Structure 1
Amino acid sequence: MSSIYNKTDNDLIIARIQNLSPDSKALWGKMTVDQMLSHCQAPMDFAFGKTPMKANFIMRMFGKMLKGKILNSSEFKKNSPTAPAFIRTETYDFEDVKNGLIERINTFSELGEKAIKTTKHPFFGKMTYDEWSKLHTMHLDHHLKQFGV
């Protein structure tokens, strides 16, 4: 399985990102390519400790119940729900958000597990470094497939 901490694995993800263009169209969902690139940065920023988030008690309980099912699956389902803080509706500069996502992926390659500044996910609760890796890898793969790369 791929690891968000592994440079070789991340180089493959970055190559897929490089195949996107401002004209790339989603195969499903509502996001534009620039919104998707910005959206993919948001969970990384949370893990890096740059964006604090909290979920209410009910969502945390629900998340703890779903954590194993989601992380043990091979991919996210199409049109899966997302945290409101991760929803993107604005227009973003394609090159800026593309380079910003690549920069964040490289941070994982450079720092490894030390890139993760919190072990507590707002929805899933306490997570291991391997669980963080799987979640980020699955999330990136899901959205890159969404745009056909």
Structure 2
Amino acid sequence: MTNIEQKIKKEKMKSVLDKSTRDELIARIKTLNESSNALWGKMNIDQMLKHCVLWEEMIAGKKKFKRKFLGYLFGRIALKGMIGNENDLKHGIPTLPELKVKETSTDVESEKLKWITLINENANFPNPDFIHPFCGKMTIEQIGYLAYKHTDHHLRQFNS
């Protein structure tokens, strides 16, 4: 067990850096299908899958976005509000414009596989210098917590 995994277990918050948590999320992703409907929000299943793939690509450093001006002012406060407790993310949290998906013609199975692959890459987190466009510089542990909460939020959105 790595030092990061030991710290996560000690803090008892779920993180994508923990293998059992990744396995749980992947099992939930596999339950999604073309008929999955949102319990809240405006996204359909196609848009949610593509959004989550883009989000994972962002934290992995495969997609880069400029830092938001308001993020310099309020990003740390927002981050603390999102990961400073074990509460679920609230419905209606604003989405970064770059992660808003308008198209709806996604191959659900293909997008699920992309998402699962990206989640598995968190076993050896590839981007320790990640800077969130709104929240700013984050530790690897903070990224792991936020990635879990983001994934969990959208899986709950689609009743998975």
* Matching residue of 1:80: 93
Deviations 1:52-77 (A, max 9, x none): 10133233212123221221142111
* Residue in structure 1 matching 2:69, options 57, 65, 82: 57
Displacement of 1:142: 0.3
* Matching residue of 1:89: 102
Deviations 1:25-79 (A, max 9, x none): 0000111112111111122211211111013323321212322122114211112
Unaligned runs of 5+ in 1: none
TM-score (norm 2): 0.85
* Matching residue of 1:138: 149
TM-score (norm 1): 0.91
Moved over 6 A (4+): none
Give, in whole Å, the separation in 2 of the partners of 1:96 and 1:14: 14
Alignment length, in residue pairs?
146
* Matching residue of 1:68: 80
Displacement of 1:105: 0.7
RMSD across aligned positions (CA)? 1.4
> Which amino acid is the alignment partner of residue 142 of structure 1?
H
Q: Does the Cα contact within 8 Å between 2:67 and 2:136 map onto a contact in 1?
A: no
* Matching residue of 1:21: 33
Correspondence list, 1:98-117, <5 A: 98-109=112-123, 111=124, 113=125, 115-117=126-128
Displacement of 1:84: 0.3
Give, in whole Å, the separation in 1 of the partners of 2:14 and 2:89: 15
> Percent of pairs identical after alignment?
38
Unaligned runs of 5+ in 2: 1-12
Q: Does the Cα contact within 8 Å between 1:60 and 1:122 map onto a contact in 2?
A: no
